[in-house]
């Protein structure tokens, strides 16, 4: 009788570990896009700002002169 309880406990522990690892992997997968801007040097944020600037230029929200001026400021 005691062995049966130990076996059930071990089986439950294994399932808890499997589910825990699955949840951990899912959370890592979900959080990955948010880690892109974590760079302490600021290069990821700078690249993001340049991307936004290019998109604004491509949509015609700013002209070429504004684009070049803002690009020079961001690349400092």
24-28, 31-35, 47-51, 62-66: segment of lowest average pLDDT: 31-35
- Residues 40 and 54: beta-carbon distance below 8 Å: no
Q: Average pLDDT for residues 16-31, to the nearest whole number?
A: 93
In a shared domain, residues 48 and 75: yes
In a shared domain, residues 29 and 49: no
In a shared domain, residues 24 and 48: no
Number of domains in the chain: 2
In a shared domain, residues 57 and 75: yes
Report the pLDDT value the prediction gives residue 44, as an integer from 0 to 100: 54
Report the pLDDT value the prediction gives residue 45, as an integer from 0 to 100: 60
pLDDT in tens, 48-57: 888 999 999 9
- Residues 37 and 48: beta-carbon distance below 8 Å: yes
Give the span between the Cα atoms of 18 and 15, in whole angstroms. 5
Give the span between the Cα atoms of 45 and 41, in whole angstroms. 9
Is pLDDT of 29 > 80?
yes
* Residue range of the domain that includes 67: 39-76
């Amino acid at each position: 009788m005691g062995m049966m309880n130990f076996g059930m406990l071990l089986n439950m522990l294994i399932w808890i570990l499997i589910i825990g690892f699955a949840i951990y992997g899912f959370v890592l997968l979900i959080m990955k896009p948010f880690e892109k801007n974590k760079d302490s040097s600021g290069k990821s944020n700078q690249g993001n700002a340049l991307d936004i600037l290019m998109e604004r230029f491509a949509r015609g929200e700013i002209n070429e002169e504004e684009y070049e001026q803002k690009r020079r400021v961001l690349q400092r």
